[in-house]
Structure 1
């Protein structure tokens, strides 16, 4: 299990105890992205059982995890120790998994886990060999009991995409969050699992090269899961386990930098992964809708966000040769109707044009 940290001292102090207590004996690594606070000193003083990986610079979420998991693999340290051999790990005499690392857990530093949160996901991957990644139910972390019943933005009850590649979740359409009443407890295939709390097969991770490093952060897990499906794997959600996520811990949604990353990465996401037969229509529609969003922000006086969208589009075009090479490296083999977790319609129209605010209001016949 690897927790990527950047200036998250307070999150580590608050949430590491629950991780260490409730993770079925999994080995816990903290990969520090060149923090300038005293995160490293805190780990040494208060959590000596945690294995520290100190990265040379702030590499961002994507390259930070890529480097950290490469180091974990090279060190030949087990993610799940021999005490869990009974659930399907084949162990060598040295105590390491005979076939190498079976699973990685990517866990944000601002996540509170609960007793038994890891076992249902691990058992799902053990019993379904085609599943390469899985997430639990994600609810909001809050001191207010009523708010803790709400789904959290980044993952909620499992990630979906619409025909144009816009992400949403069971339990969250755009900024509208539902209250968890058990309506999304069923395990099921989805389009993407959240990077805030993801269990992924090590072999599949390395097969596809991990996270897209140029993304830096935001939508990187969607890109990975889309590539996993194109490569023949499945991505699942398991509602039998729950974690609580603070969200926005390192970059708030009002930050223009986040606006830039979301729009730049959004274009790259659909360009890299959309089937060739669908790509022209999807790209034209996405660019047009991005300009509508930019104009709306300008009218609202949000000039910094407007400028962030302009930069996002310019930088996407400037890097087009790179995105083309990545598309050729991992060819998009599946049409939208052949992928799981896709809404065969426009979420933008359903939400803003038809007033649909809950996942259950979407036409189930349009969901794959």
Structure 2
């Protein structure tokens, strides 16, 4: 009897700046995704570094799974994301170029997706991931705290339901994308577009989950420069106008023990590994 065919997932990475971080991100996806990886779609958004596009083209020539889309002008994160996501009709992961995935990440996200058919969006644990941050919830930690990564996350629940996923690494179910559409371009250059999509999903009866046994490094705060705070505030206002209960539901989740379970679990492991370190 032949083995069942694996479901493959496309990974979409909008690319603008930071050649070194972007190269590291792409290499980690190619190294750690396994047979679950479908296509790796790199969307070049006319960034300031002339060496970026040749690097992306070199990756494309070296691996047939890679597709490079070249924007004719700078379109911004949301438009670039939607262009990449529109290339396929299946499940997809939208991944920031300043991330670094770890072994088994894609199969780990798939395991959560297969655990409940109504889960539309999934985000893994991270050193910098808002409601998915470890070892302290909502607090970013340097990547050096986890290196070399030897965390055993198998003792955690497979997933935790949340009010929203986080955009640095966002798994999106094909069925939900086809029903709800993509990211809303009215959020401009970015920030809170993934929260908006998750609220639309929840309104349509879908669920949002944190994958407690998957970890992805995230540098964070390397996009938008000094405009980051302004964009964050403006788009949060837009989000709350649309979904008045968003902040209340997020605060309620933060107050529940299950919100902190993964962070405390990881903090305990790190403390055992480095008993003299201070966390939190």
Coarse TM-score class (shorter-chain normalised): 0.7 to 0.9
Work out the number of aligned pairs and report it. Answer: 233
1:343 aligns with 2:251: yes
Report matched runs for 1:281-300 at 5 Å.
none
State which of 129, 152, 157 in structure 1 corresponds to 2:132. Answer: 157
Cα distance in 2, alignment partners of residues 2 and 127 from structure 1: 23
Give 1:55's aligned residue: 71
Q: 1:237 aligns with which of 195, 210, 213?
A: 210
1:228 is aligned to 201
Which residue number in structure 1 is paired with residue 178 of structure 2?
206
Superposition pairs for residues 90-239 of structure 1, below 5 Å? 101-139=89-127, 152=128, 154-155=129-130, 157=132, 171-173=136-138, 175=139, 185-186=156-157, 187-215=159-187, 216-239=189-212
Match of 1:251 among 212, 224, 243: 224
Spell out, residue by residue over 1:292-311, the C-alpha distance to the aligned partner (whole angstroms, 9 max, x if none).
Answer: xxxxxxxxxxxxxxxxxxxx
TM-score scaled by length of structure 1:
0.57
The separation in 1 between residues aligned to 2:20 and 2:176, in whole angstroms, is 33
2:264 aligns with none
Paired position in structure 2 for 1:267: 237
Aligned CA distance change for structure 1 residues 344 and 16 (closer, same or farther; 3 Å): closer
In structure 2, what is the Cα distance between the partners aligned to 1:10 and 1:343? 36
Please give the per-residue CA displacement for 1:207-240, whole angstroms capped at 9, x wherever unaligned: 2221121212111111111111111100001111
**Would you say 1:16 and 2:29 are equivalent positions?**
no
Q: CA deviation at 1:42?
A: 0.9
User: After superposition, where does 1:61-72 map in structure 2 within 5 Å?
Assistant: 61-70=77-86, 72=87
- The 3-state SS of whatever aligns with 1:239 is strand
For 1:272 and 1:170, how far apart are their aligned partners in 2?
A: 32
Distance in 2 (CA, whole Å) between partners of 1:7 and 1:42 is 12
Among residues 44, 49, 53, which one is paired with 1:32 in the alignment?
44
Q: For 1:249 and 1:185, how far apart are their aligned partners in 2?
A: 31
* Matches of 1:170 and 1:127, distance apart in 2: 25
Say which SS state the counterpart of residue 119 (structure 1) adopts.
helix
Q: For 2:106 and 2:71, how far apart are their aligned partners in 1?
A: 26
> Any conservation in 1 of the 2:60–2:68 contact (CA below 8 Å)?
no
Distance 1:156 1:112, change over 3 A: farther
Tell me the SS of whatever aligns to 1:235: strand
User: Residues of 2 paired with 1:13 and 1:176: CA distance?
Assistant: 22
2:17 alignment counterpart? 7
CA–CA separation in structure 1 for the residues paired with 2:223 and 2:196: 21
Larger radius of gyration: 1
Residues 33/185 of structure 1: CA separation in 2 closer, same or farther (3 Å cut): farther
- The structure showing larger relative contact order (alpha-carbon pairs under 8 Å, at least 6 residues apart) is 2
Q: CA RMSD in A?
A: 3.0
**Equivalent residue, structure 2, for 1:165:** none
- Equivalent residues of 2:121, 2:170 under 8 A apart: yes
* Matched residue SS, 2:126: strand
User: Cα offset for 1:15?
Assistant: 2.4
> What secondary structure, in the 3-state scheme, does the structure 2 residue paired with 1:36 have?
coil
Gaps (5+ residues) in structure 2? 1-10, 262-280
